[in-house]
Amino acid sequence: MDEVAHAAGVSRQGLYLQFANKEELFRKTLEHSLNNQLNAAVAALARQDGLEVRLIAACDAWSGRFVGSLGSDAADLMCASTSRAGTTLTHYEAEFELALTRAIADSPLNGFCTTAGLCPADLARTLHATARGLKQSSASREEFVKGMTVAARMFCTPLKQRR
């Protein structure tokens, strides 16, 4: 808490006036970060680019932005965030999948889903799972984006073939 207070330019007591304890500080920081990630992903999905580009950008904003940039304590931090965040992480992950679902449903890919006996939420869950896996296994953000490009292209290729 001393390091956080110093970095924020406040006293330790001042920090405790804002946050009751370390857990509350952690939870609020996590909420702030997840909210920023979600807003960036939603903004990427709202762009006027093609669907493939928007899906890649959204997954990068949600999962890829920290790949390769975190230190050796990242695994410990992720474990702590999962156990201490309660339903916060689950809520934001569901919101991200909903944003992906809406983008897919509002695109020509929705017609392909219907033909294939799928729904947009199926594709959204699969893209999100792919992003989570690539986040854990990629050595760099570039590698993450390359993997997401493969996944998004696999989904979007039927659209290109229909033209």
The answer to whether position 29 is within a domain reads yes
The answer to whether position 100 is within a domain reads yes
The answer to whether position 15 is within a domain reads no
Model confidence band, residue 30 (pLDDT cutoffs 50, 70, 90) = confident
Domain span at residue 148?
A: 21-162
The answer to whether position 10 is within a domain reads no
Are 61 and 47 in contact by the 8 Å Cβ rule? The answer is: no
The answer to whether position 97 is within a domain reads yes
Average pLDDT over residues 53-59: 96
Of 27 and 59, the one with more pLDDT: 59
CB neighbours of residue 50 within 10 Å = 14
Segment among 20-24, 35-39, 101-105, 128-132 with least mean pLDDT: 20-24
Model confidence band, residue 20 (pLDDT cutoffs 50, 70, 90) = confident
Model confidence band, residue 84 (pLDDT cutoffs 50, 70, 90) = low
| Number of independent structural domains in the chain | 1
Q: What is the mean pLDDT of the chain?
A: 86
Q: What's the pLDDT at 159?
A: 61
Measured CA to CA, the distance from residue 119 to residue 131 in angstroms comes to 19
The answer to whether position 91 is within a domain reads yes
- Provide the whole-model pTM: 0.83
Average pLDDT over residues 49-58: 95
The answer to whether position 11 is within a domain reads no
The answer to whether position 128 is within a domain reads yes
3-state secondary structure of 11: coil
